[in-house]
Structures are given as C-alpha cells and as structure tokens.
Structure 1
Amino acid sequence: MEKKQSLHAHIKSELLARIKNGTYQKGEKIPTELELCKNFDVSRTTVRAALNQLTLEGYLERTQGRGTFVADKKVHQTLSQTVKRYVDQVEVQGKTAEIILIDLSVIPASETIQLALGVPPNDPIQKIERVRKANHSPTQYEISYIPWSTAPGITKEQAETSLYNALKQDFHVAIAKTTEHIELTLSDESTSYYLDSEIGLPCFYIETVAEDQEGNKVEYSQSYFRGDKTNFVIERLYPEDAEV
C-alpha cells in the first residue's frame, strides 16, 4: 500500500473477502475495533471507516453495546430476461418472500403517467403500492400504475401474488417486453418509512414500462430497492458471430 489514505479501503476489502469466503459466517460477531487495529496495525479511525462503509453497504450490522455482526446475504434479483416471480427468485435463495399491499386506488392520469403510458389526460389509472419483503425485512417499495381499460378492477389478492400473472390469467394481457431505467438515489422520508430504513439510505431506483404483444403500454412502475439488502444479476447472451 503506497498511500496512507488507502488503508481503510484495503481493510474493507480484506474484511469483505472474509465474509464472502465464509471465514466470518452470517450472524457471527467479528473482532472488535481494537482487535482489528492490532491485527492490521492501523488506527481506530481507519478501522472505523472500513466498518462504517461495510455497514452502509449491508455486509455488517452494528448493535449498540453488543458489537458488529455479519449481516444476512443480500437478495439477488435478475434484471435479465426472466419469467420467474419475485417469490420464486427469493425462495430459491432459502428466504421467505412476502408481498404486502399498501394501497390500491383509482386516480386520474397525471402528466408523468400520460407520458409513460400514452393515455389521455385524467384517464382512470389503478395505483398499486406494495412492499416486498425477504425474511420479513423490506427490500423493495414499488408503485405500479395500470390503466383501468387494461385490467379493470384489480383485487388485493392479485396485487399480493403476481400482477403480471394476474394480467395474463385474469385479463388476457400478456407482457411481451419491459423497458427499465435504473439509477442510484437516496431514500427520502416516505421511501425510508416503507423500507424501514434511515433517511438517506442509498437505494436502487428502477422505472419500468411494460408492453403487451401488440406494443400497448400496460404498466408503468417506480421501484426503490434497499442498496444494503439487494443486488442484481445481469446475464447477456452473445451470438457466435457477434462482434464484441
């Protein structure tokens, strides 16, 4: 290490490697700050900076008066082409999945919704607010907008299972394409309330527009994912003759 200011990054990297290779198991208490200072021969400030970053990123959990523990593994979700429901993606990771309906109402289309879905002004839109959980801990807060004309009268039961499955099975609307825009954001007062997090937590923000087989826009959604509890997997398929 050539630069003193890179010490905390080195320590963070080493601790993260120990977490990922199983040296430190989920729920295990890691060495104290003092022990880590002696282990790495650095100051307490340097160790604390590394621990704070790992905590912010969701790899560690710090409990007042008890110490620092290895957090549960993050929920993996697929952004590639997939037909797996959220419940299926979570349960295959050994976690219990839940979808909680917060609000189901009909609202007039705002300018943002008009642009996203291509509907007339004040067109009736079903607004569906949900929280997704893994092992009873919130990982995602989502607001979906579906035109009434696309699927009139969506129910609580449909919203708490799979909207896309309900659209296909109950309203004969098959999703053929989604376009997703992803960026980083910080949780505000409302988002942090539903995600059960502190205000300012780094989150993934994804806007999605779904289309049916005829190219009609049938859903627009805004989703916030806890950055400390979620990561994404992207798979790309390349034809043999592709130039990359």
Structure 2
Amino acid sequence: MTRNHSSDQIGTLPEGGKARRVYLHLQQEITRGIYSVGEALPGEQKLAATLEVSRVTVRRALDALEREGLIKRRAGSGTTVCGPRPQPAMAADFSTLIPQLVEMGQSTTARLLSFSYGVAPGGIASAMGLLPRDRVQMAVRLRLVEGIPFSHLTTWVPEDIAQGYSEAELATTPLFRLLERSGVKVTSANQSVSATLASPDVSEALGVSIGAPLLSIDRVVRNSEGRGVEYLSALYRPDMFKLEMSLSRVGAGEGRHWEPVIQTPKRETAE
C-alpha cells in the first residue's frame, strides 16, 4: 500500500475491489460538483442499495474519502461534502504545449531521482533512430509545485550530447536549456498524449496510490539533421495538471468543422 505523504496529497485507495469502485464513484461525483459543498450524502444503507454492495464496503469507501478530506462524518448528523481540497495546479494550452512545458521550469522546482549512462531500451532507441549499442544518458526527475510533486519525468539523451552538462546542472536547470547551451539546434518533435496507471515506484514518487490514473506524454525531440536528441516520458497527476485547447468553428455547409486556435505561449504556466 502506498504511503500518504501529507494531508495535502490524495489519500490511499481503500482495500478491496468493490470498496475502490464505490470510492472512485463518489470521489468523481464530488469533484465534478454533483454533490456540492455542504450537501449531505445519502446514508450508508441507501448507498449500499443503490450501488449494490454491502454497508461494510460503503463504510470502507467513506473512510478513504474522509481521510482525503472530501467528506466529514458526524454521529447523528450523517455525512456532508467538504469539496476537493484546493491544490496548486499547472495548466498548458495543448496548441502550444511544448514551449509551455519548457518554460514550466521557471515556476516549479525539480528533484533529480536518478542519473546514469547505458544502452537505451529497444523502443527508445528505435524512436530516436539510435543503433542497438548506442549509449545514452538516462535521468529521472520529479517536478514539484509549491513543494508538492506533480510530474515524473524520464529522459534519454545520446551520450555525446549529454556530456555537455553535468548531473548537478540537470538537477537545477531544465533539460531543454542545457541542450540549447550545448549547441543542439532543435527543429522538430513528435509527441503523443495518453493515459496510464501509476506503477509502484512512480506512485511512491508522486504520492498517489498504486494504479492511480496518470496523464502520459511521450515526446521525441529532433535536431536540424533529423537526429533524435531527447526522448521524454512524462507522467502527470491529473488532479494537478491539465491540458486546455481553444477551438473555433470554421468552414461552411457540410465542411464546417472545429480547428484549434493557436495562441501565444503563456510563460508563467509551462516543463
């Protein structure tokens, strides 16, 4: 079971699959505002009947919600909603995501968790266009906002490029800045966004439960010659990071469709 680092971080999932299902169901309804702050939740017996579980299962889920600070229970007066605890958060416009993520280093702090050299994993080497025995520098960093971890970043950089900066510099300076300082001229990147579940080591670092949902961003950065100079695998807590996009309705007739609005990057919300 993952430890709960502090009262500012999300609580541990309750034991048992049914209890977790009830917990996640109620948590989502509270965070989405279906149950407003101060509103009373249905009683344990009604919740058990509605969700087709036992009262013991409901009680376990409510215990977890109470630990998280989402509800308050008082004998004789039932359970009331406290609402999600305010969290420091980061946001980025999807249409200008890369420059914003680069600038995020200005408003957050980083902690270097590991630093080593070796042969790149097969999938990473293939994506970057490396030969099977090419060596890379691998680093794992934790990025924090107001002292609370919100992203887990793993990067792979070809060894000859990575020798242009030190382990100490990587712990204090955004990688993109170090690459530019080393003379790398970045011209393009391929990026994908998906969802994943927190592994034991990542859950420990981010302060979330094992199996908690995470936003996953994978990016291959290339220089002017098309060479892969960085592979980034970034995992974000969805309760502290979100992607936004503005859309415009354009065209005419049956060809009318949505298109993203390209905006100027906001320097204060960006890696």
TM-score by length of structure 1 reads 0.69
CA distance in 1, matches of 2:91, 2:236: 11
Does 2:94 correspond to 1:87?
no
Does 2:120 correspond to 1:109?
yes
What are the Cα deviations for residues 200-222 of structure 1, in whole angstroms up to 9, with x where unaligned?
11111111101122322111111
Q: Secondary structure at the match of 1:83?
A: helix
CA distance in 1, matches of 2:200, 2:92: 25
Who is 2:38 aligned against? 31
> Structure 1 residues 79 and 150 mapped into 2: Cα distance closer, same or farther (>3 Å)?
farther
Does 2:148 correspond to 1:137?
yes
Does 2:85 correspond to 1:71?
yes
Contact 1:128 1:159 in 2 (8 A): no
Alignment of 1:39-54 (within 5 A): 43-44=46-47
Does 2:157 correspond to 1:146?
yes
Contact 1:110 1:122 in 2 (8 A): no
Cα offset, 1:139, TM superposition: 0.8
CA distance in 1, matches of 2:137, 2:249: 38
Alignment of 1:15-30 (within 5 A): 16-17=32-33, 30=37
Higher relative contact order (CA 8 A, sep 6+): 2
Q: List gaps (5 residues or longer) in structure 1.
A: 1-7, 25-29, 92-96
> Structure 1 residues 68 and 243 mapped into 2: Cα distance closer, same or farther (>3 Å)?
closer
> Structure 1 residues 109 and 70 mapped into 2: Cα distance closer, same or farther (>3 Å)?
closer
Cα offset, 1:16, TM superposition: 3.3
Deviating more after overlay: 76-85 vs 109-118: 76-85
Contact 1:80 1:236 in 2 (8 A): no
One-letter code aligned to 2:29: K
One-letter code aligned to 1:191: V
> Structure 1 residues 126 and 79 mapped into 2: Cα distance closer, same or farther (>3 Å)?
farther
What are the Cα deviations for residues 66-93 of structure 1, in whole angstroms up to 9, with x where unaligned?
97443224421333225231134xx4xx
CA distance in 2, matches of 1:168, 1:161: 12
One-letter code aligned to 1:133: L
Match of 1:191 among 202, 210, 226: 202
Aligned alpha-carbon RMSD (Å): 3.7
CA distance in 2, matches of 1:237, 1:103: 43
> Structure 1 residues 234 and 190 mapped into 2: Cα distance closer, same or farther (>3 Å)?
same
What are the Cα deviations for residues 146-189 of structure 1, in whole angstroms up to 9, with x where unaligned?
001233243222343211111112x1113222211121111111
Contact 2:149 2:205 in 1 (8 A): yes
Contact 2:112 2:170 in 1 (8 A): no
What are the Cα deviations for residues 87-129 of structure 1, in whole angstroms up to 9, with x where unaligned?
34xx4xxxxx211111111111231222011111221200010
Who is 1:161 aligned against? 173
> Structure 1 residues 235 and 162 mapped into 2: Cα distance closer, same or farther (>3 Å)?
farther
Who is 1:12 aligned against? 29
Contact 1:164 1:175 in 2 (8 A): no
Q: List gaps (5 residues or longer) in structure 2.
A: 1-24, 52-56, 75-80, 258-271
> Structure 1 residues 187 and 62 mapped into 2: Cα distance closer, same or farther (>3 Å)?
same
CA distance in 2, matches of 1:118, 1:237: 37
Cα offset, 1:144, TM superposition: 0.2
TM-score by length of structure 2 reads 0.63
Deviating more after overlay: 141-150 vs 66-75: 66-75
